[in-house]
Amino acid sequence: MATLPLKAKNTLSESSDVFETGKYEVNTTTVRTTHPSAPPVEVFRVTPLTEGTYPVLLFCHGFMLASTWYTNLLKHIASHGYIVVAPQFYGFVPISNPEEVERAAQVTQWLSTGLPLVLPEKVNPDILNLALSGHSRGGKTAFALALGRLDQKQKSPIRDNPSLPKFKALIGIDPVEGTSLSDRPPPQILKYIPRCFNMSVPVAVIGTGYGNQWAGPLIHPCAPDGLNHSEFFNESKPPACYFLTKEYGHCDMLDDNWIVNTSRVVCKSGTGRRDLMRKSVGGIVVAFLKTYLGGDEKDLDAIVNDPSVAPIILDPVIYVKE
C-alpha cells in the first residue's frame, strides 16, 4: 500500500490552476461486485490518498464504453480533491437506458455505506457534497437520474426516494438523447421547451464541435443536432453553464489506447492534442464543482470571463445565473 502523505486541510477555496494536475496524489482501483462492500455493479474508484474528507462525483460512462477508458480525465478531477465513482453498467451487451438509470440509482444508494469501505485509510467521502456527471448516453443517464425519471409511466420518481443522497451539481459531457429524432429510447429527457427541466440542480454542459458531424459516408454523427449538448443546455434552468470545445470530437476526452482509437472511427475526432482536451474538460468540471460544492466561484468566473485561459478553444461559453 502506498504511504499516505501528511494530513491535508482540504478547503475547496484554495487557489489552484484547474487545467493542471492538482496537488493530490491519487489512487485507482476497480471494485468488483464480490467485494465485501457489495456494490450493485462493478465500480471504478479514483480517490486522493491524502488523509481528509472529500466531495464525491458519480460519473456515468458512454454507450458501449468502459469506465476505465476515462482514467486520465477522472484522475485529473480527483487530483483536485474529489472522490470519483464510475460504475460499469454493462459489458459487451448493452442494457436499456431505464435499466442504466436504475443501476445508477442503486450505486447512489451504495455510496453512503459501501464507498467508505473501498477508500484508503483515513480518506472519507462527504456524501452531503455529491455531484453527478456523465458522457454521451451516460450524460443522458445523469440527467434522468437528477430528474428522478426511469420512464414516462413511473409513478414514484426515484428522486423522491428518501434513501438517495441529493445531488448538488450536474455536469453533462457531450450528452446525447438518441441516434435520431425518431429513435429516442426511454426515458425521453428532451421536451424542446426552453428551461423546462424540473430540477433545481446547477447544470454545466460541455459540448463538442465535431460531435454532430458524420465520421464517414455511412457513419451517422455520434451526437446529432437536436439531440445533443445544445438542447440539454437549452432546457436546463439557471444556474446553467455551457462550454463548446470547438475543435474536438465526441470521444476525444477518453484515454489513448487502441480500443478507444477504434471508437474514433465511428465518432469523428478533432485534430488537436487529446491530452489538452482532457485537461480542459477536467478543468471545467473542477471549476464547476468548486463553485457549487465549495462556494468558490473564482475559477469558473475566470473561464467564463476569458475562455482563452483554457488549453483549447472554447467557443461559445455561456453562463446563465438566474
- Please state the domain count of the chain: 1
Distance CA(64)–CA(15), nearest Å, equals 37
Catalytic member of 80, 174, 236, 255: 174
Q: Mean pLDDT across the stretch 114-118?
A: 98
Burial zone of 112 (CB within 10 Å; 0-12 exposed, 13-18 middle, 19+ buried): middle
Is the residue at 2 inside a domain?
Answer: no
pLDDT of 14 reads 41
Task: Say if residues 282 and 22 touch (Cβ distance below 8 Å).
Answer: no
Whole-number Å distance between alpha carbons of 146 and 166: 9
**Starting from the edge strand earliest in sequence, which strands make up the sheet with 167-173, in order?**
26-31, 43-48, 83-87, 52-60, 123-135, 167-173, 203-208, 240-245, 314-320
- Confidence class of residue 5 from pLDDT cuts 50, 70 and 90? very low
Position 31 in a domain: yes
Q: Which of 101-105, 146-150, 169-173, 309-313 has the least mean pLDDT?
A: 146-150
The reported pLDDT for the residue numbered 158 is 54
The answer as to whether 81 is a domain residue is yes
**Is the predicted pLDDT of residue 286 greater than 50, yes or no?**
yes
Judged against a pLDDT cut of 50, whether residue 134 lies above it is answered with yes
Mean per-residue pLDDT of the chain: 90
Q: Mark whether 80 is an active-site residue.
A: no
Mean pLDDT (whole number) for 102-123: 96
Residue 113 identity: T
Q: Where are the alpha helices (DSSP H) in the chain?
A: 71-78, 97-114, 137-147, 229-234, 258-266, 274-294, 298-305
pLDDT band at 152 (very low <50, low <70, confident <90, very high): very low
Q: Is residue 5 one of the residues assigned to a domain?
A: no
For the chain, state the CA radius of gyration: 18
Structural domain boundaries, residue 88? 26-320
Is 96 annotated as catalytic?
A: no
CATH code assigned at 182 = 3.40.50.1820
pTM value is 0.92
Q: Residue 67 pLDDT > 90, yes or no? A: yes
Q: Considering the domain boundaries, does residue 21 fall inside one?
A: no
User: What is the arithmetic mean of pLDDT over 53-81?
Assistant: 97
Domain presence at residue 129: yes
Higher pLDDT pick, 72 / 152: 72
How does pLDDT run across 158-182, given as a tens digit for each residue? 555 666 788 999 999 999 999 988 8
Mean pLDDT throughout 295-318? Answer: 97
Return the pLDDT at 162: 61
Q: Are 228 and 139 in contact (CB under 8 A)?
A: no
Reply yes or no on whether the pLDDT at 237 is more than 50: yes
| pLDDT above 90 (res 105) | yes
Give pLDDT, residue 161.
62
Residue 313: phi, psi to the nearest 5?
A: -80, 120
- The pLDDT of residue 279 is above 60: yes
In a domain, 202, yes or no: yes
Weakest mean pLDDT among 83-87, 150-154, 227-231: 150-154
Residue 19 lies inside a defined structural domain of this protein: no
**Residue 265 confidence (pLDDT):** 75
Is the predicted pLDDT of residue 218 greater than 80, yes or no? no
Q: Of 16, 133, 250, 263, which one is the catalytic site residue?
A: 250
Tell me the three cell numbers of residue 162.
428518501
Environment class of residue 246 by beta-carbon count within 10 Å: exposed (0-12), middle (13-18) or buried (19+)? middle
User: Taking 70 as the threshold, does the pLDDT of residue 155 lie above it?
Assistant: no
Spot the catalytic one: 67, 79, 136, 263. 136
Q: Is 17 marked active-site?
A: no
The pLDDT value recorded for residue 221 is: 93
